[in-house]
Amino acid sequence: MKTAALFFVLALPFLSSVTQVCGFDFFYLVLQWPGSFCDAEQKCCYPNSGKPAAEFLIHGLWPNNNDGSYPSNCDPDNSFASSQISDLMSNMEANWPSLACPSSNGYSFWAHEWSKHGTCADSIFNEHDYFEAALNLKDKVDILQILSSSGIEPNDNSYSLSSIEEAIQTGFGFTSVIDCNKDVSGSIQLYQVQLCVDKTGTSFIACPDSSSGSGRCSSEVKFPSF
Ligand code: 5GP
Ligand code: 5GP
């Protein structure tokens, strides 16, 4: 008994260094505007399945902490297997396409998102349920329609950041976090809308006060066409 206890005490530092603690408080459902991914410096390539719909598409479902920190790459042994999501494939292609070059079937983007973010929620979701949860959440909200209802359209015009935030607060019912990037000529544009989701991955919630994603945005942001 004493030997077992001694072994445990001696092994503890080693065990904790290989087993990252991956708690989290909520998820971000991160939706990207394809027009802003494509007109940026890295350019884009349409996926093998063709040009995606002009709508906010899934970038990821990211476990996050209320203090702004987040876990990542929590379980190197749990790597992405496309066979786990074969029943979701057409839904994934439509709603979670990869716009990176060269054109692809999306597997490497999904593998990256699963390894970096999904494995940090593997106490809640297996791989299949993680991707399905993100698809179900995206299905519940139409950001383009919400913005359009407030006269904010992807027509290369600029809109105030506050009008975008208010439109989403009004049409969606909760605060969100807006993230921006730059087009090739350096104009700051609406890139991502991050919606907050409870830690069961099923219900939208208001984003914690500490959330700040608007650091890359300016007070006026372009909304490019796609
Ligand atoms: P960027 O440097 O473009 O803001 O972020 C690069 C990557 O870091 C993101 O794609 C995402 O994987 C991760 N990341 C950045 N900010 C956050 C965050 O607030 N929460 C989480 N969970 N991941 C983030
Ligand atoms: P994150 O920024 O989420 O950590 O990483 C995103 C990674 O996925 C980057 O390496 C990026 O090149 C790749 N990627 C592949 N397809 C896409 C896409 O459609 N959108 C974004 N944002 N990244 C993509």
Q: Does ligand 1 lie within 6 Å of residue 107's CB atom?
A: no
Read off the pLDDT of each residue in 162-167 and give the average, rounded to a whole number: 97
Q: Does ligand 1 lie within 6 Å of residue 24's CB atom?
A: no
Give yes or no for a contact between 20 and 76, defined as CB atoms under 8 angstroms apart.
no
- Side-chain half-sphere CA neighbours of 93 within 13 A: 14
Burial profile 48-62: b = 16 or more Cβ within 10 angstroms, e = fewer: ebeebeebbbbbbbb
Q: pLDDT value at position 211?
A: 75
Q: CA 105 to CA 112: how far, in whole Å? A: 13
Which residue of 27, 59, 70 sits with most ligand 1 atoms within 8 Å of its CB, as the best mutation to test the pocket? 70
Read off the pLDDT of each residue in 114-123 and give the average, rounded to a whole number: 97
User: Which residues make beta-bridge pairs with 61?
Assistant: 29
Q: Does ligand 2 lie within 6 Å of residue 110's CB atom?
A: no
Q: pLDDT value at position 213?
A: 61
In terms of pLDDT, which residue wins out, 202 or 215? 202
Q: Using a pLDDT cut of 70, give the percent of the chain over it.
A: 89
Q: pLDDT value at position 21?
A: 55
Read off the pLDDT of each residue in 6-20 and give the average, rounded to a whole number: 43
Read off the pLDDT of each residue in 78-104 and give the average, rounded to a whole number: 98
Nearest CA to ligand 2 atom 22: 59
- 172 exposure class (CB count in 10 Å sphere: 0-12, 13-18, 19+): middle
Q: pLDDT value at position 106?
A: 98
Taking the centre of ligand 2 as the mean of its atom positions, its distance from the CA of residue 23, in whole angstroms, is 23
**Per mean pLDDT, which range of 171-185, 190-204, 211-225 is the poorest?**
211-225
Please give the model's pTM, rounded to 2 decimal places.
0.91
Q: Which atom of ligand 1 is nearest to the CA of 68?
A: 19
Q: Using a pLDDT cut of 90, give the percent of the chain over it.
A: 87
